[in-house]
Amino acid sequence: MSLKRELPTSTISGFALSGILVLTILNILLHNIPHPVTTAGDKLLKLNASEGVANAVTTVVVYFRGFDTLGEIAVLFIASLGIGLMLHSNTQCEIKTDSNFMLKTASKILFPIIILFGIYVMIYGHLSPGGGFQGGVIIASGVLLLLISDRSFEVPHAMIVALETFAGVSYVLIGLIGLLVLDKFLGNFLSPDISDMGLLFSGGIIPIIYIIVGIKVGSEMSLIVQNLIKRDENV
């Protein structure tokens, strides 16, 4: 039995590292608070007016970086595919206990409101903060509420497949139509009118693409959530 106690080196180094990190980030934060928008943001905001969409982030995500968004959706699809391959089961779900009656009653009231809010965020993505990704995940969280409250509930598989196929195909089709009409992929062929900025029907193809993204993200995330909750015990 040694008299020399070992120094807790990992704890000490953890404290030191987090202290350095805190000081660095505090320094960055305190130096950057009063400044207005940076120059790149100013340039993007000026370009944003050419498309007639009120929310500048939506223009960047769907129009200036539309091809990247297509790649992001492909990444999400591959993630959903992997989770489905690893966890999907045809056997009965493993949730044995019945859920709380408060949860059952509240989910019946809350589920339509959550779905409505998700669709609102999806459709108004070009006017207010939000958009396809956020709206889709909100809808998936509504499906999660149903899944944990009602153990016999299952996401209709055929409907999910139909929605996802429709969304993916129409995204690429809209891009190809832009390529045919305007000689660039995802060109805004519906000729946005800048005087319409702020209206629901404005921005040409940008709100259409964001709604498509929302449908695809919502169906994929619902499937992921279902596969995570109702998976085979023996996998």
Partner 1 sequence: MIGLIILVSFIGIVIIAFASIIQKKLADSIILFMGVGLGSVILFFVFKAPDVALTEAVIGAGISSLTFLMALKHLGVKG
Binding site for partner 1 (CB under 8 A): 18, 22, 25-26, 29-30, 33, 37, 55, 57, 121, 129-131, 133-134, 137-138, 140-141, 144, 221, 225, 228-229, 231
Torsion angle (degrees, nearest 10) of CA 88, 75, 184, 50:
110
Cβ 235 to partner 1 shortest distance, Å: 8
Cβ 72 to partner 1 shortest distance, Å: 12
Cβ-based nearer residue to partner 1, 187 or 210: 210
The amino acid at 33: I
Cβ 184 to partner 1 shortest distance, Å: 25
Cβ-based nearer residue to partner 1, 26 or 181: 26
DSSP letter (8 states) at residue 55:
-
Distant-in-sequence, close-in-space partners of 63: CB < 8 Å, separation ≥ 6: 51, 53, 186, 188, 206
Query: Alpha-carbon distance 149 to 103, whole Å?
Result: 6
Cβ-based nearer residue to partner 1, 47 or 56: 56
Cβ 182 to partner 1 shortest distance, Å: 27
Concatenate the DSSP letters of all residues of 183-218 into one string: SSTT--TT---GGGTTSSS-STTHHHHHHHHHHHHH
- Picking from 214, 210, 216, the residue whose alpha carbon sits closest to that of residue 60 is 210
Cβ 125 to partner 1 shortest distance, Å: 9
Maximum pairwise Cα distance, the chain? 83
Cβ-based nearer residue to partner 1, 139 or 178: 139
Cβ 33 to partner 1 shortest distance, Å: 5
Cβ-based nearer residue to partner 1, 187 or 224: 224
The amino acid at 144: L
- For tokens 């023996």, the residue is 234
Cβ-based nearer residue to partner 1, 33 or 85: 33
Cβ-based nearer residue to partner 1, 145 or 205: 145
Cβ 179 to partner 1 shortest distance, Å: 28
- Picking from 9, 51, 42, 10, the residue whose alpha carbon sits closest to that of residue 198 is 51
- Picking from 145, 127, 170, 110, the residue whose alpha carbon sits closest to that of residue 225 is 145
